[in-house]
C-alpha cells in the first residue's frame, strides 16, 4: 500500500466519521495503515494518507501500536511550541510548525469504547498532525508563507533528483 504524497488532491479531502461497531473493514484498514507506517519508518499515519477517507489514525512512539477512530482534540494548552515537523506525505522536507504544547484527545478504540488521552511533547504533536490530515490539512498549510515556499521548492528539487 503506497502512501499518497503531495501534491495529490486526495490529501486535501476531509475524512468522514466511522462507527467502529458497524464497520467490518476497520480491522483490516488499521493493519494496512500500520504496515504502511512501519514500512516508511513513520511514527503516525492517517487513513487519508493511504487514500481512505475515514477518520482513523495510528501511531507508535516506540511503545505500542495505537489505533484511534474519530480522534478529536477536546482541549488544548494556550502554550504553543514551534518544532520542525516531517510528514510521510511530504517526504524529505521538515517544516517549522507551531502547535499546542499539550492536548486532550478523545476517540473510540476499535471496539467502540471511548478513550481519552492526555498528551504532551511528541504525542501531542502527532495527534494534532494526524487529526489535521483527517481534515485535509498538511504541514505545508500550517507553515508560514515563507517556510511553505522554501519547503515546496526543496520538495520539488528532491523529486526531480530522484
- As a whole number of angstroms, the distance between CA 136 and CA 84 comes to 20
**Burial zone of 94 (CB within 10 Å; 0-12 exposed, 13-18 middle, 19+ buried):** middle
Q: Where do we find the cell 514551534? A: 82
Q: How is residue 162 annotated by DSSP?
A: -
* Identified binder of Zn ion from the candidate list 87, 103, 134, 143, rule CB under 5 A: 87
Nearest distance in Å: CB 158, Zn ion: 16
* 5-13, 18-26, 64-72, 80-88 -> range binding Zn ion (CB under 5 A): 80-88
Rounded to a whole number of angstroms, the distance between the first and last alpha carbons of the chain is 20
H helix runs in the chain, sequence order = 26-39, 121-134, 139-142, 145-161
What does the per-residue mask of binding to Zn ion show for 34-73, with x meaning CB under 5 A?
----------------------------------------
Nearest distance in Å: CB 45, Zn ion: 8
* 16-24, 66-74, 81-89, 99-107 -> range binding Zn ion (CB under 5 A): 81-89
- Is residue 130 annotated as a catalytic residue, yes or no? yes
Catalytic (active-site) positions: 130
Amino acid at each position: 500500500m503506497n502512501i499518497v504524497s503531495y501534491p495529490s488532491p486526495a490529501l486535501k479531502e476531509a475524512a468522514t466519521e466511522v462507527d467502529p461497531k458497524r464497520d467490518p473493514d476497520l480491522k483490516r484498514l488499521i493493519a494496512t495503515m500500520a504496515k504502511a507506517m512501519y514500512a516508511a519508518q513513520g511514527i503516525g499515519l492517517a487513513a487519508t494518507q493511504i487514500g481512505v477517507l475515514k477518520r482513523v489514525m495510528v501511531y507508535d512512539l516506540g511503545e505500542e501500536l495505537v489505533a484511534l477512530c474519530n480522534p478529536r482534540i477536546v482541549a488544548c494548552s494556550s502554550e504553543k511550541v514551534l518544532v520542525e515537523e516531517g510528514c510521510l506525505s511530504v517526504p524529505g522536507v521538515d517544516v517549522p510548525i507551531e502547535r499546542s504544547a499539550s492536548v486532550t484527545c478523545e476517540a473510540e478504540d476499535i471496539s467502540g469504547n471511548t478513550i481519552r488521552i492526555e498528551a504532551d511533547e511528541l504525542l501531542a504533536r502527532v495527534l494534532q498532525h494526524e487529526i489535521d490530515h483527517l481534515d485535509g490539512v498538511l504541514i505545508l498549510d500550517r507553515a508560514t508563507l515563507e517556510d511553505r515556499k522554501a519547503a515546496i521548492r526543496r520538495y520539488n528539487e528532491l523529486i526531480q533528483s530522484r
